[in-house]
Structure 1
Amino acid sequence: MNTTMHVARFTVAYWCVLIAALLPMACAWLAKSGTFGKPRKDGGYDNNDPRAWLARQKDWRARANAAQANSFEALPFFIGAVIIAHTLGAGQTLLDILAFAYVMLRIFYILMYVSDMAMARSAVWTGALLVNIAILFIGYR
């Protein structure tokens, strides 16, 4: 009888999933920053109707909110790819590197979105998608 017990460990890739899950909230905070405590009549954040308040924002605040939406949209594929790669026994070091690269690309994506750098943002988005596809297939044999 085998008495060896398998101990699961929280990998770098799993930490990257946590960070990626927090990125949309960071975008929302960014969109709302500087408006907390200001009266609503002066454009202050409206916690009674936050979605309508965000929908009325312009310029970089609107782009931060759009980055939030895109970050939520990209999240399921990343989570699924990391779990599938782990399940298929992908090499842990490569998986960790790719997951870290994905998170860094997503952070750059957000910064470029908020800064209104559309062409660069699209290129980084494409890079993150390709890294995510690589994560999905690295365990394939």
Structure 2
Amino acid sequence: MTKQEFLFHLKGASLVSLKFAENYVKDKLTTDFKYNVILNASTDNPNLTQFEVYPEDDGKMKLDLTDNEVVELIYRNGKVPVWIDINVLKSSRKSTTFNLLCAGRYSDDKNEYYYNDNGSGPFGIKSPKLPIDYKEGKKFKLK
């Protein structure tokens, strides 16, 4: 996957995630996107040879990034995490912020990407964090 392809998938997944979140939240979601990236969210064996792993990323989080900054952060040696869960986190008048929860295993083989069969590459669209008292069909405000 090229950097350009990865950026394309990120932008597409962001739009789909925003549309999905609109089914759940009352907030107005804008198309000026920001991202919080949580690296190495999976627990991976550092002895894996099939994937590239970065144990130094354990516990790292980068906040308030642009789409290009996300690409620069997690596109490494032509490889990206095999799964990246994306969900709307918060909204302001100016921007919508997403969480990107990233696997620690990196690959350049599209067959390794968890969500490749649905056309989103490594990106899995997830709902916003549901409140404890969430009732199906009832929209809520993001915190």
TM over 0.5, yes or no? no
Higher relative contact order (CA 8 A, sep 6+): 2
Larger fraction in strand:
2
Larger radius of gyration: 1
Larger fraction in helix:
1
Give the alignment's TM-score, normalised by structure 1. Answer: 0.31
